[in-house]
Structure 1
Amino acid sequence: MGTHTDRRIITTADAPPPAGTYSQAVCTGGLVHVAGQTPRLPDGTRLNSAPFESQARQTLANVEAIARAAGSSLAEAAFCTVYLTDVEQRGIVDSIWGEFVGAAAPARAMVQSNLPGFSIEVTAVLPCRCA
């Protein structure tokens, strides 16, 4: 097994802690790979019964918080994947998405998924500028 000298774990208290054995994000090769974020508050409280718009907004706020911890932002993302239990809600995602990325929208995929307990999950790949 090789060493991971260029690999840095990114953590922030401004996003929920991992719900399993994974990191919030990992910076390697100049990129930060943000793990799937769901609608949870930074203290871990699940918003699975909240309206979809609230779930989407919190999920993107979590990705943004982790991006900032890496010295980046969601607006600088190269690629994001959005997992939805109901792809008909993509219009709501798009309207909220614009608040976070503005006109500099990253490449993105939307995937219908059978998420357990949530309506949305988002992953991202962004530039890493952590010190």
Structure 2
Amino acid sequence: MNRKVINSHKAPEPIGPYSQAILVNNTLYVSGQIAIDRETGNMANEDIATEAHQVMRNLEYILHEAGLAFKSVVKCTIFLKDMNDFQVVNNVYGQYFSHHHPARETVEVSRLPKDARVEISCIAVKEM
């Protein structure tokens, strides 16, 4: 098994004992991202749309570090603190997956790290 840790210097540092992503053979497993802005170290959470865009940018930074893009993503998981935010987050998410729609589930959870309102993880595959 070929295993490599992926760490983007544009995405926020992990806030626990985990990696931003792990590439195993041709599959990239990206840890859940919240809306931490790496430059400021603060949450970009003025509103749920701003928060969702920062989450998507953090995912994009990690994908790019691995030589991938959103078109390589085959699966996402969205965690929401409040399912009432679903439509706004779904609209933001759709801007990044306009032509390619990976498999996905969205679940409401009671709490997320740093009191984030949204966290998204993904799995992407490198073309062989």
Task: Return the TM-score normalized by structure 1.
Answer: 0.88
Identity of aligned residues (%): 26
* CA–CA separation in structure 1 for the residues paired with 2:45 and 2:19: 25
Give 2:64's aligned amino acid: R
Q: Which runs of 4+ in 1 moved over 2 A?
A: none
Q: Identify the match of residue 34 of structure 2 among 31, 38, 44.
A: 38
Q: CA deviation at 1:48?
A: 6.2
* CA–CA separation in structure 1 for the residues paired with 2:16 and 2:39: 15
Q: Identify the match of residue 53 of structure 1 among 49, 54, 65.
A: 49
Do residues 70 (structure 1) and 52 (structure 2) align? no
Q: Secondary structure at the match of 1:78?
A: strand
Q: Structure 2 vs 1, CA of residues 23 and 44 (structure 1 numbering), >3 Å: closer, same or farther?
A: farther
* CA–CA separation in structure 1 for the residues paired with 2:90 and 2:71: 14
Q: Which moved more, 1:94-103 or 1:25-34?
A: 94-103
* CA–CA separation in structure 2 for the residues paired with 1:96 and 1:75: 16
Q: CA deviation at 1:47?
A: 1.5
* CA–CA separation in structure 2 for the residues paired with 1:103 and 1:39: 24
Q: Which moved more, 1:37-46 or 1:87-96?
A: 37-46
CA RMSD of aligned residues (A): 1.6
Q: Which moved more, 1:98-107 or 1:57-66?
A: 98-107
Task: Return the TM-score normalized by structure 2.
Answer: 0.90
Q: Deviations over 1:20-65 (max 9, x none)?
A: 1111000003100000100001246232652111110000110111
Aligned length: 125
Q: Secondary structure at the match of 2:79?
A: strand
Q: Is the 8 A contact 1:48 1:118 kept in 2?
A: no
Aligned counterpart, 2:80: 84
- For structure 1, the residue ranges without an aligned partner over 5 or more in a row are none
Q: Is the 8 A contact 2:51 2:118 kept in 1?
A: yes
Correspondence list, 1:100-111, <5 A: 100-111=96-107
Q: Identify the match of residue 112 of structure 2 among 101, 110, 115.
A: 115
* CA–CA separation in structure 2 for the residues paired with 1:48 and 1:69: 22
